[in-house]
Amino acid sequence: KTQMASSSYFLVIALLALASWQTMASDPSPLQDFCVAENSSHVLVNGFVCKDPKDVKAEDFFLAAKLDMPRDTNTNKVGSNVTLINVMRLPGLNTLGISLARIDYAPLGENPPHAHPRATEILTVLEGTLYAGFVTSNPDNKFLSKVLNKGDVFVFPEGLIHFQFNPNPYKPAVAIAALSSQNPGAITIANAVFGSKPAISDDVLAKAFQVEKNTVDWLQAQFWADNHN
């Protein structure tokens, strides 16, 4: 009986630890109505220090983002422009676990393969057509994709590599994305691998991609522009 009780005790502890880990894996939840980010604070926490509630104003929850206005998609080679509204731009988002982005696509433009390490994304097409998809994790690496038309919605699970491409050579496209983090982060695969600073050894990348080192050197010499603003 003592052994059984001990086993049950450790099982309960393990389950509680698992539940605690799952809770901590998402953005910190508010324990009050809001926790407006105090961006001037130098205290380092997982998120931002709260502004004193008596100093909070309506402007802390407002941003004249002009998301109805088209963005310039000619500033980079991929032909897209991501306007992200996160906690750094809207302090009232702090601890609320949500952010928003407008994405503009030039004809044949794309939001290249990338991942959000801290957020699931739900995207809806406002104008045009998009070819969108994501790849599941190892070992299957299953590719799931769909052609999206105006009004369609598609979900990209947290942390998985995904993309959107405008297949129309004549018309632009526009989408709005909501993300389940106040600061979802973005890892653009090509930029991270071939545009890292300092550069990853070409020996490493040549082995990983099974190509010649001169191919890797050529890729690392390209200008890997960011499509976020």
144 and 47 fall within a common domain: yes
List the chain residues with pLDDT less than 70.
1-26
40 and 93 fall within a common domain: yes
Q: What is the pLDDT of residue 23?
A: 47
Residue 108, domain extent: 23-185
113-136: per-residue pLDDT in tens?
999 999 999 999 999 999 999 999
208 and 146 fall within a common domain: no
Cα(164)–Cα(123) distance, rounded to whole angstroms? 10
The CATH number covering residue 139 comes to 2.60.120.10
Cα(65)–Cα(57) distance, rounded to whole angstroms? 18
Residue 9 is assigned to a structural domain of this protein: no
186-221: per-residue pLDDT in tens?
999 999 999 999 999 999 999 999 999 999 999 999
**How many secondary structure helices (H) and strands (E) does the chain include?**
4, 10
Q: Contact 186/228 with Cβ under 8 angstroms?
A: yes
Residue 5 is assigned to a structural domain of this protein: no
First to last CA, the chain: 63
155 and 88 fall within a common domain: yes
Residue 17 is assigned to a structural domain of this protein: no
What is the pTM (predicted TM-score) of this model?
Answer: 0.85
219 and 143 fall within a common domain: no
Q: Which residues define the annotated binding site for Mn(2+)? A: 114, 116, 121, 162
Q: Which residues define the annotated binding site for oxalate? A: 111, 116, 121
Number of domains in the chain: 2
| Beta strands across the sheet bearing 173-179 | 80-85, 99-105, 173-179, 121-127, 153-156
Residue 16 is assigned to a structural domain of this protein: no
Q: What is the pLDDT of residue 177?
A: 98
Residue 7 is assigned to a structural domain of this protein: no
Preceding peptide of 53 cis, ω within 30°: no
Q: Which residues define the annotated binding site? A: 111, 114, 116, 121, 162
